[in-house]
């Protein structure tokens, strides 16, 4: 593997908070590659010219974060099926001819995180309730469908947004204030909103009304244990934090760029936990 080169970056606005450089530089060192991975702040109005300039500087791989995940699609010469279905790109691979191929690794990262944290979880065992209706929710719903979930419900503060997402994927829009009666068959609860993140109010979901045996997943990773996860753990429910999703989606991106599927080690996870503390 030594001798391979990777020069890549995460682009966003803002982007200084990103953990992606720590993740990918860890793997570049682990697999003895040449090159580096950094973060580049790219204002929305300069997206195209910034990408072209970075390509001229020798960059061949990019992770894409807020607010560029949808707008960058128009700059892609090719899209993989997942990016097309979700309607967002979070990974770019630049060709030697100046072309871009767009991918979405969020759905893969979301599902692999659940499989890693809850081995043996049966996605078809009961309904999945997804809270939120943004890009992360679209990735979660797409991933759940591919993993075999038979019934997916979407709840969002703006019910119209939940209805649109449900229509796009053939899912069901649920009232945001779903009570205990509407949750008795829920096997998986997923928060895809930023609520519960540092600087944000808590989600405010009453985990006590979930059935015994339900799994609770929060894609937020700062803090690692959100109030939702604390409440669910206090109830004795299995909880899954968002750091694993970040790692698994990054692993798929690294594989796209290098052909190497990197190992997600305890050492790397602990390094990131310290950075989010």
Please give the positions annotated as active site: 69
Angle between helices 135-147 and 159-169 (to 10 degrees): 40
Answer yes or no: are the C-beta atoms of 105 and 91 closer than 8 Å. Answer: yes
Both tokens of 167, joined, read 């229509």
Q: How many residues does the chain have?
A: 277
Shortest CA distance to 36 belongs to which of 14, 18, 58, 15?
58
According to DSSP, the β-strands at 91-94 and 152-155 are unpaired
Q: What is the DSSP letter of 152?
A: E
Q: Could you tell me where the beta strands, DSSP code E, fall in 96-182?
A: 100-103, 127-131, 152-155, 172-173
CA 96 – CA 58 distance, rounded (Å): 10
> Count of alpha carbons within 13 Å of 185, Cβ hemisphere only?
10
Shortest CA distance to 57 belongs to which of 89, 11, 17, 111?
11
3-state DSSP assignment of residue 228: helix
According to DSSP, the β-strands at 61-64 and 34-41 are unpaired
Q: What is the DSSP letter of 211?
A: P
């Amino acid at each position: 593997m030594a001798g391979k080169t990777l020069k890549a970056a995460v682009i966003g606005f803002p982007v200084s908070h990103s953990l992606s450089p720590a993740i990918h530089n860890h793997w570049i060192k682990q697999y003895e590659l040449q090159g580096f991975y950094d973060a580049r702040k790219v204002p929305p109005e300069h997206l195209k010219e910034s990408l072209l300039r970075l390509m001229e500087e020798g960059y061949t791989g990019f992770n894409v974060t807020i607010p560029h995940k949808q707008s960058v699609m128009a700059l892609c010469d090719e899209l993989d099926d997942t990016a097309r279905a979700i309607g967002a790109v979070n990974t770019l691979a630049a060709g030697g001819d100046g072309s871009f191929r767009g991918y979405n690794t969020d759905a893969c990262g979301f599902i692999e995180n659940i499989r890693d944290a809850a081995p043996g979880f049966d996605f078809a065992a009961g309904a999945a309730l997804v809270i939120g209706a943004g890009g992360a929710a679209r990735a979660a719903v797409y991933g759940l469908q591919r993993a075999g979930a038979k019934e997916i419900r979407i709840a969002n503060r703006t019910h119209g947004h939940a209805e649109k997402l449900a229509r796009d994927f053939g899912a069901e829009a649920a009232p945001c204030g779903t009570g205990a009666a509407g949750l008795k068959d829920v096997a998986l609860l997923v928060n895809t909103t930023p609520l519960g993140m540092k600087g944000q109010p808590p989600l405010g979901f009453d985990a006590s009304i979930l059935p015994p045996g339900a799994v609770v997943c929060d894609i937020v990773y700062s803090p690692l244990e959100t109030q939702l996860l604390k409440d669910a753990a206090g109830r004795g429910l299995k909880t899954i934090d968002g750091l694993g999703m970040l790692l698994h989606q990054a692993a798929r991106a690294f594989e796209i760029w290098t052909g190497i599927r990197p190992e997600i080690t305890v050492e790397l996870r602990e390094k990131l936990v310290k950075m989010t503390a």
